[in-house]
């Protein structure tokens, strides 16, 4: 048998954990290896059980989902975090993405879509619920007049030099998903939809210089 996808479920509601465990366990390529009721338990299980995926609720006791996500990835970058929550505010989504989550689903998702998301994330892909993706796209498409933060300016300067997201992450000492989150903010603030346009707008507005 091929490698099964090892999953830790992190949710503070026992009935939700039980339902997810039964649903995911019905798939021959999934193996639920642990359940966590708090963010700290999720951190501990991710460390000791070495799962492929942690299915993470964003609102967790002791340690919130975004903070747990950041600490899990810092300890083991191989672990992929798929958020499954009832909350889809801009702040929640951005915190999760900035922390390193590679998927974001809402709890009303059909089982089939949940299974697709788990498999996609396990393959190294990203998976966002349609409503979540729409929120991010709207932010990117809406011009804003806020100044760039120092970190956003550093990221844009690296983009201007032709650096990839991976290279930017290494240069600035941050996670690659964090670079992507900064780019979302930059695109939204500049009212652009591409790296080239962002650089051009950044130069025109005096945020960066071309060397």
pTM beyond 0.75, yes or no: no
More confident position, 36 or 128: 36
The answer to whether residues 102 and 121 touch, using CB atoms and an 8 Å cutoff, is yes
Mean pLDDT calculated for residue range 68-92:
89
Percentage above 70 pLDDT, the chain = 92
Q: What angle do CA 50, 93, 131 make, to 5 degrees?
A: 110
pLDDT in tens, 151-203: 999 999 999 999 999 999 999 999 999 999 999 999 888 877 789 988 988 88
Q: What is the pLDDT of residue 211?
A: 65
Look up residue 3 and give its DSSP letter. P
State the greatest distance between any 2 C-alpha atoms of the chain, in Å, as a whole number. Answer: 58
Closest CA to 114 of 21, 43, 51, 46: 21
Mean pLDDT calculated for residue range 74-93:
87
In the chain the domains, ranked by start, together with CATH numbers, are: 5-139 (3.40.50.2300), 142-204 (1.10.10.10)
The answer to whether residues 21 and 33 touch, using CB atoms and an 8 Å cutoff, is no
Mean residue pLDDT of the chain comes to 89
pLDDT at residue 33 tops 50: yes
pLDDT in tens, 94-137: 778 888 999 999 999 999 999 999 999 999 999 988 777 766 66
The sheet with strand 5-10 has its strands ordered as 30-36, 5-10, 53-56, 80-85, 103-106, 127-128
């Amino acid at each position: 048998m091929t490698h099964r996808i090892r999953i830790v479920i992190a949710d503070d509601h026992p009935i939700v954990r039980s339902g997810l465990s039964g649903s995911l366990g019905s798939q021959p390529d999934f193996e639920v290896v642990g359940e966590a009721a708090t963010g700290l338990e999720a951190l501990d299980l991710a460390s000791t059980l070495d799962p492929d995926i942690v299915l993470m609720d964003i609102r967790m006791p002791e340690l919130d989902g975004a903070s747990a996500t950041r600490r899990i990835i810092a300890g083991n970058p191989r672990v992929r975090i798929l958020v499954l929550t009832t909350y889809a505010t801009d702040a929640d989504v951005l915190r999760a993405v900035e922390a390193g989550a590679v998927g974001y689903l809402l709890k009303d998702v059909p089982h089939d879509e949940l299974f697709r998301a788990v498999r996609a994330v396990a393959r190294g892909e990203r998976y966002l619920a349609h409503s979540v993706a729409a929120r991010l796209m709207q932010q990117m498409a809406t011009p804003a007049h806020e100044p760039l933060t120092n970190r956003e300016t550093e990221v844009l300067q690296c983009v201007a030099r032709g650096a990839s997201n991976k290279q930017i992450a290494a240069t600035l000492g941050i996670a690659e998903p964090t670079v992507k989150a900064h780019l979302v903010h930059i695109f939204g603030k500049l009212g652009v939809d591409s790296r080239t346009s962002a650089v051009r707008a950044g130069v025109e507005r005096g945020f960066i210089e071309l060397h």
